[in-house]
Amino acid sequence: MKVVTAKKASQHRSILVTYSMGKPGDMPAHKAVHVNKSFILSFTALALVALLVALDGTSISVALPIISKRLGGTAIEAFWTGTSYLLCSTVLQPSFGSLSDLFGRKPLIMLALLFFVVGAIVAATSQNFTIMIAGRSLQGVGGGGVVTLIEIIITDLVPLQLRGHYFGMIGTVLSIGSVTGPIVGGGFAEQVSWRWIFYINVPIAGASLFLIPFSLKAHSPTPSPLNAKIRSIDYIGVVLFVASMTSCLIGITWGGVIHPWRSAQTLCPILLAIIGMIIFAYHEIFRARDPIIPVSIFGTPTAIVNFIGVIVHGLILWCVLYYLPFYFEAVKGYTPILAGTALLPLTFTLCPSAITIGLLITRWGCYRWAVVLGSLLACLGSGLLCIINAHTSVAGWVCLMLVPGLGLGSLFPALIYAIQASAEPRQLAIAVAMCSFFRSLGQAIGIAIGGVIFQNSMHSNLMKYPAHASHADDYSKNVILLVEALRKMPESATTDDLKTAYSDSLRIVWAVCCALAGISALLSLLTKDYTLTAGEPAQEDVGETNKTATQVK
């Protein structure tokens, strides 16, 4: 074993940055974290920005009917307002991770924040849907980059064995933002103005733009000429990946919404995406000098099964956040604000479990148990949601929402721990970026699959009732139309039948989520517990400015 010791002097940074170049998971325990003012300011700024991005991703959904009315938009334009954000935030995440290795974390997160702020201003001041969609696209680019880089920066600042606590907190912030987004969006749209959904981002994100440069001490790239860095970018890989994933997401998001699933408009983009990804894989494996996505990050069973777990986690989480509010609005007759508030029981267990599991992984030094437990609880929780029907009491659905919150919250720190522990240290940034990307991809797939399942189930359920059979096509294809129709109908046996059909259709969505979570739980058994620490812990002296970092090779 070769030991190399290097001394660094700093008046502001009390974090020992140490990396192991050994086998996956062979991360040393030498990196000490001193929680000083700089660290607190940096983490607070990152957490606030994460909260804004999560709020922004879900707050517009309940406000779309009001925005459409004010701007005179069509259903298709309203659809693209949400889809453009999801698409742009997903496809560029790996690129942000790769480019941050070349140019540094700080410039890239500043760029992402700038995109987010400019996009918010454009959307807030838009007078038509064309400008609105442009603003949402810019916000998506920034939001996707921010979420990815926040997780990468935590990887830079905190040693592997201590990251669970911080990833748990970021997961909690993202969950709170996602759950409360509809409440905030509905409140602004109904009580103030829908434009404040976007304006509220500007002062906080703008303040972070000034705070982060002075407080953040993250990864700095190896000094090299700018033109050399520009030449080293895998442009072909970036174009192939972005184009392929854009084509894929367009196909799966408008399938069954704008165009039928069997139509050429839906199948052709998906087919082109498959061809594009095959070409991309060939290029990355055999042609690229510095691939944006090194194939080696998928080199262990632990990495593969946990990347699959991240997709399933994003899928289930977004199905719950997206379709449960429709249950409360359509079946229970709640307003958008109350429907968002009804998700709070999910947050009640999701957030504490994310933090607690992160702390326990840090304390016990292993993560496999958390991945398996979280997957099993997600499976059980999805199954319990199948019990919810049109007549479930408030106490009933509150209790039934607690278990899925436990499972989904536990998986936030557990999955990213497993993926990082199985990655080579030099590939940590792209591994974290891919984790964020696959979570977003799972969210997009979840909305698409959930929509297909709901539409088919709703159509067949409505055909059972003669009074609703003639409206089966319209009601099953347009969830918002059905919600509005139910609000205008007086209470009667016919209305009860419609609510029963709605809740029965959602039950199939939860059943599919349960099955996918079960498969993920079985695969999680293949997870290997890589060591989170190696060697002797470094001595931490918070009073010193000269720190010693030991690299084990």
CA dist 244 and 267 (Å) reads 13
pLDDT at 481: 67
Give burial (CB, 10 Å; 0-12/13-18/19+) of 193: middle
For residue 220, which amino acid is it? Answer: S
Position 219 scores a pLDDT of 63
Query: What pLDDT score does 85 carry?
Result: 86
3-state SS assignment for residue 19: coil
> pLDDT value at position 32?
52
Q: What pLDDT was estimated at residue 123?
A: 92
- By residue count, the chain amounts to 553
| pLDDT score of 163 | 79
Distances (CA, A) of 47 to 43, 108, 168, 172: 6, 17, 11, 10
Give the pLDDT of residue 531.
75
Q: What is the pTM of this model?
A: 0.81
Residue 59 and residue 68: Cα distance in Å, rounded? 15
- Measured distance CA(442)–CA(450) in Å, rounded: 11
In the Cβ-directed half-sphere of 72, how many Cα atoms lie within 13 Å? 2
Q: Quote the pLDDT of residue 179.
A: 78
- Looking at residue 383, its pLDDT comes to 94
What Cα–Cα distance (Å) separates residue 234 from each residue in 46, 68, 229, 230, 241?
28, 40, 10, 9, 11
pLDDT in tens, 308-365: 999 999 999 988 888 888 888 888 888 777 887 888 888 788 888 888 998 898 888 8
Regions of the chain short of the pLDDT cut 70: 1-35, 75, 218-222, 226, 256-257, 476-481, 493, 533-553
**Alpha helices, H only, 331-427:** 336-341, 344-364, 368-385, 394-400, 402-421
H-helix segments, 63-195:
64-71, 75-91, 93-103, 105-124, 129-157, 163-191
Q: What is the pLDDT of residue 24?
A: 41
pLDDT for res 15: 36
The whole-number pLDDT of residue 26 equals: 41
Asked if residue 524 lies in contact with residue 307, where contact means CB atoms within 8 angstroms, the answer is no
| Dihedral sign computed on CA atoms, order 375, 426, 432, 536 | positive
The pLDDT value given to residue 521: 95
